[in-house]
Amino acid sequence: MKNPLNKRIFREIKDEAGKYLVIFLLMTAIIGIVSGYLIGDESLKTAYDESFKKYNVEDGNFELMTKADKSLISSIEDEKVKIYENFYIEEKTEKISSTVRFFKNRKQVNKVCLWDGELPKYETEVAIDRLYAKNNELEIGDTLRIKNKSLKITGIVALSDYSALYRNNTDFMFDGVKFGVAIVTEDGFESLPQNHLHYSYSWKYNNPPADPLGKKAIDMGNDFMNSLSKKAVITNFIPRCSSNAINFAGEDMGGDRVMFITFLYLLIIIISFVFAVTTSNTIRKEANVIGTLRASGYKKSELICHYMAPSAIVLLVAAVVGNILGYTVLEKYISSAFLNSYSLTTYKTLINATAFIDTTVIPLIILLLINFIMLARVLSLSPLKFLRRDLKRHQRKKAFRLNTKIHILIRYRLRVFFQNIPNYITIFAGIFFASIIMVFGIMYSPLLENFEEKTVDSMLAPYQYVLKVPAETKTKDAEKYGAYELKTTGRDFVEEISVLGIHKNSKYFKTDIKDDGIIISSAYADKYSLKIGDKITLKESYEDKKYTFKINGIYEYPSTLAVFIDIDNFNKTFDFDKDYFTGYFSKEKIKDIDESLIASQITKDDLTKTSRQLEISMGNMMNLFICAGVGVFMLVIYLLAKIIIEKNTQSISMAKILGYNRREISKIYIHTTSIVTVVSLLLCMFITHKAIIAIWHAMMMEYSGWLPPEIPIITYVKVFILGVVTYAFVALILQRKANKIPMDEALKNVE
């Protein structure tokens, strides 16, 4: 015989259609987003991992001052490596403010993935990187101009060794707007200006390490560099294990997995508690029925399963629909966020069993567990207590005494507040969680704009040149400086720190540096919580030699993790000649140094590429955070405030009988929740700020560089206004519900 209680399950869902529809839509959206992320991320990561073998990606590359002859190549290959020419030419583009790195078509190593069109066949044709093309609105058939030379775009490609468009390996952020890579024919390469020709070589180990990013790979890279440095003058050396252009995309994919899963589980926990509270309210309303059923022989386990069923069904359906959306629409949307950031090779959407477990099985278990604990506790009461509608475990001897001098409406509100403290605590928790999500979404663009503005204002010089070898200039106001790269110590994640040797009484660095100490950038100080008087220890990139410095000052320089040291002390510390330098600061463009001697030129575009690229990469994703935050806010406020109204149905009905009008009843019940909501919003602004700063700092410690979390006050104002407006909409719905309560409700179930 079928259990007759089962007939009530879908009737209950139908009777509470509004509540379950809101929860269904929110859970479908969240599960869909997380599922889409996991599926898209795994599909792209799989294609990325397979690309190393498919496109024969290098084990590293190095650059020489001059072209190596056959004997030198043969000598280098004696180190159990295979060497491949990978020369490139960098040229600035006309009409578009950018720099493009041109390579010959690769057929042996670092092969090219063709996204669209065809590879160049003639001298005047070019195939350009997909991301660079997208960001600069270039298409097949368009023309790319460099120094009076026109190249017709015939194809859109991805270079397997440039999945992240890093111009320099030491850059904090890649740049898919102002920097791109391209493929030309051999004749086309020879026809390009040769002033910026770089003699770059790729290598592949004869016996590569099992883990290309592991300790053995690092040791092999160091050994090869030491051997190579004895045979040739190296101007650049990047083993694959240290290459941001190759590794950054792969490290980032999957890096946000924990954040998305945690976000989903936190939301599920909140929804589960909301379900638990609403189910508890249902049990209170149906106490007589439950008492009768228990007295008739129904087991507690049967009733627990019955009351757990609606929430489980809604979540299960939401999970199924969310996963369908995840595999279709949302997978494309999430994947586009990665494709808008990285120059990845082509991929196929893969079925992901882990995503189903993470987004369906585990959330369902969390929901059932929380509801089971609550239901088991409530339904453990005796049938007699249910028949008497006495669901309290501990009877309070008398009500909490309130001063009679307090106005009657205020006392009434206080009674409502004290009776519903658990609900209001849950409302506060929901508002806090929703506020964090909304702040993350709203703060992003202002944070990047503020960072870009401060970066431009704090530039050391309008022009900063890095030279391959020291060269003199007669340019007025040009000032020499030294540059060196060290690495951090003391933690698992190691990142590079720029050490700049500055002249005393510098025109560009506005603070005097003492001979016995250093000044660090504000970015370095903020990220590592350093202050004046502290000591820091840095080490050589490829050696164990360490240096300890005392901090004498902090310089406002938010764009780079940097150490500033007197140039005489700089040359002495690193064993350079007394007159050694690596570049120039200048107010004017330097024109009397051969361009072939200039390694790079740092301009405003270089310093602001972090904010520019992050806005492109993550801008659309932040809209999802805002929508999710508003959804959580509305759901929690509406359902819990609705429960408060339902719990006080008899009281509201009695108040109407006693002559209270709608406005007065609204002041007692709706306004009480309004006050709690507004106060919670205000309190959450302060707590949320502290939480965001802590989360941001922990998150940035896993990335190279620093982006200061300077959140404008207007962000919190927007969140507060958004919360108030959202609640105003909910309050109107609750007001209508309270107005519909009839007077005869007070005469029902009178004990």
| Per-residue pLDDT tens digits for 629-660 | 777 777 777 776 777 777 777 777 777 777 77
Q: Give residue for tokens 């278990």.
A: 365
Percent of the chain with pLDDT over 90: 12
pLDDT of residue 110: 92
Q: How large is the average pLDDT for residues 403-415?
A: 70
Identify the residue with better confidence: 389 or 501: 501
- Among 216, 219, 220, 215, CA closest to 204: 220
Does the structure show a pLDDT above 80 at 345?
yes
3-state SS, residue 476: coil
Ranked by mean pLDDT, the top range of 199-208, 240-249, 343-352, 490-499 is 199-208
Q: How large is the average pLDDT for residues 225-236?
A: 85
Q: pTM score > 0.75 for this model?
A: no
Does the structure show a pLDDT above 80 at 557?
yes
State the SS3 of 512-524: CCCCCCEEEEHHH
Does the structure show a pLDDT above 90 at 619?
no
Task: Name the strand (E) or helix (H) holding 152.
Answer: strand 149-159
| Domain positions in the chain | 1-56+258-393, 60-207, 409-458+603-751, 463-602
Question: Contact, 94 vs 147, CB < 8 A?
Answer: yes
Average pLDDT of the chain to the nearest whole number: 82
- Interval 91-140: pLDDT, tens: 888 888 888 999 999 889 999 999 999 999 999 999 999 999 988 889 99
pLDDT of residue 352: 81
- Among 697, 705, 712, CA closest to 557: 705
And the tokens for 656?
Answer: 């109407």
In this prediction, residue 171 has a pLDDT band, given cuts at 50, 70 and 90, of low
pLDDT of residue 384: 80
Distance between CA atoms of residues 677 and 673, nearest Å: 6
And the tokens for 397?
Answer: 């001897």
Q: How large is the average pLDDT for residues 435-458?
A: 76
Range of weakest confidence among 332-336, 601-605, 669-673, 697-701? 601-605
Does the structure show a pLDDT above 80 at 253?
no
Distance between CA atoms of residues 387 and 315, nearest Å: 31
pLDDT of residue 681: 86
Residue 551 φ then ψ, to 5°: -85, 120
- Among 202, 131, 211, CA closest to 166: 131
Q: Distances from the Cα of 27 to the Cαs of 34, 317, 538, in angstroms?
A: 10, 10, 48
Which sign, positive or negative, has the C-alpha torsion 171, 174, 179, 180? positive
Percent of the chain with pLDDT over 70: 90
Q: Where are the alpha helices (DSSP H) in 286-395?
A: 287-295, 300-327, 329-339, 353-356, 362-378, 383-387
Range of weakest confidence among 185-189, 196-200, 455-459? 455-459
Q: How large is the average pLDDT for residues 509-537?
A: 85
- Interval 375-393: pLDDT, tens: 888 888 788 877 777 666 6
- Interval 302-332: pLDDT, tens: 888 888 888 888 888 988 898 888 888 888 8
Does the structure show a pLDDT above 80 at 266?
no
Distance between CA atoms of residues 420 and 651, nearest Å: 14
Question: Contact, 180 vs 128, CB < 8 A?
Answer: yes
**558-590 burial code (b ≥16 CB/10 A, e <16):** bbbbbbbbbbebbbebbebeeeebbbbbbeeeb
Distance between CA atoms of residues 211 and 221, nearest Å: 13
Cα within 13 Å of Cα(410), Cβ side: 6
Q: How large is the average pLDDT for residues 619-628?
A: 66
In this prediction, residue 1 has a pLDDT band, given cuts at 50, 70 and 90, of very low
Does the structure show a pLDDT above 90 at 181?
yes
- DSSP lists the bridge partners of residue 463 as 586
Distance between CA atoms of residues 353 and 350, nearest Å: 10
